[in-house]
Structure 1
Amino acid sequence: MLKEFKNFIMTGNVIDFAVAVIMAGAMGLVINGFVVDIIMPIVGEFAGGVDFANLKYILTEASGTEGEPGYVAENAIRWGAWVNTIVNLIIVGFVMFIIVKAYNKTKTPPPPPAPSGPSQEELLTQIRDLLKK
């Protein structure tokens, strides 16, 4: 059973998948940084100098001092962070589209099927016609 598991793990598909997952995680961090640090400040500037990451709808204000007994944290719907996430998703989708499109261009088309000979019926028809002569 251990040998079968080793063979399974060492197949190309599993290793390729593992590399893809690691690369996707790294790419996600890069794209998230791009969205949060570059794109959203530009979008915020066009939206009137707004920082989307800090936009929220406060349900309950914080009360007390943090770290002391009786402190109640703020309860808020952070919709600005959600907008950042949606922009991130759109950019990740676009980048993945570009990568897949470029990958598909590098693939060689399958070779055309080999020309097939005459069918069995055509051969029998030819034999019949030759026998008639």
Structure 2
Amino acid sequence: MMKEFRDFAMRGSVVDLAVGVVIGAAFGAIVKSLVDDVLMPPIGLLLGNVDFSNLFLVLKEGATAAPYLSVAAAKAAGAVTLNYGLFINAIVSFLIVAFAIFMVIKNLNRLKKPEPAAAPTTKDCPHCATAIPLAATRCPHCTSQL
């Protein structure tokens, strides 16, 4: 049983998948930092000092009464919140990841060499224009000599 598991785990596709997951997680962390720390602060500044990570609606107040200054303060008070600012950050992160993957795939497709066209296996009869095998000496449709 252990030998079968080892053989399965060491197959190329499983190892490639594991490497892809690890690199994807690291890329996700980079994109999250890009969105949270680089892109959203200037966008929030342009929109009047808005911190998107602290945009929320209180659905139910907690032990202490509202207003809550941040999502963390609301959660600490036990309030139920709808965190739409974090959702906006997640959407921006997704769009960046999707665009990056699109660019990688686009460049990989450009680097692929097109497969050469297969050699023709038929020719057209000069008399009736029917497709016939290359080795034929007589057209099976019009019976003309080729």
> Which of 92, 97, 116 is matched with 1:92 structurally?
97
Give the distance between the partners of 1:33 and 1:80, measured in 2 at CA. Answer: 15
- Shift of the 4–117 alpha-carbon distance from structure 1 to 2, 3 Å rule, reads farther
Distance 1:121 1:102 in 2: 39
Asked if residue 17 in structure 1 is aligned to residue 17 in structure 2, the reply is yes
One-letter amino acid of the counterpart of residue 109, structure 1: P
The equivalent residue for 1:108 is 113
Structure-1 separation of matches of 2:50 and 2:104:
32
Q: What letter matches 2:60 in structure 1? A: T
State the 1:11 CA deviation.
2.6
1:124 offset after TM fit, Å?
A: 4.2
Higher relative contact order (CA 8 A, sep 6+): 1
Distance 2:54 2:112 in 1: 45
Q: With the length of structure 1 as denominator, give the TM-score of the two structures.
A: 0.77
User: Equivalent residue for 1:123?
Assistant: 136
TM-score (norm 2): 0.71
> Secondary structure of 2:25's match?
helix
Aligned match of 2:81: 76
Q: Deviations over 1:91-126 (max 9, x none)?
A: 111111111111111212112213436654861407
Runs of at least 5 residues in structure 2 that lack an aligned partner in the other structure: 65-75, 124-131
- 1:6 Cα deviation (Å)? 3.5
Instruction: Letter of the 1:43 partner, please give it.
Output: I
Give the number of the structure whose residues are more often helix, by fraction: 1
1:59 aligns with 2:59: yes
Question: Does the 8 Å contact 2:57/2:82 carry over to 1?
Answer: yes
Name the count of aligned residue pairs. 124
RMSD between aligned alpha carbons?
Answer: 2.7
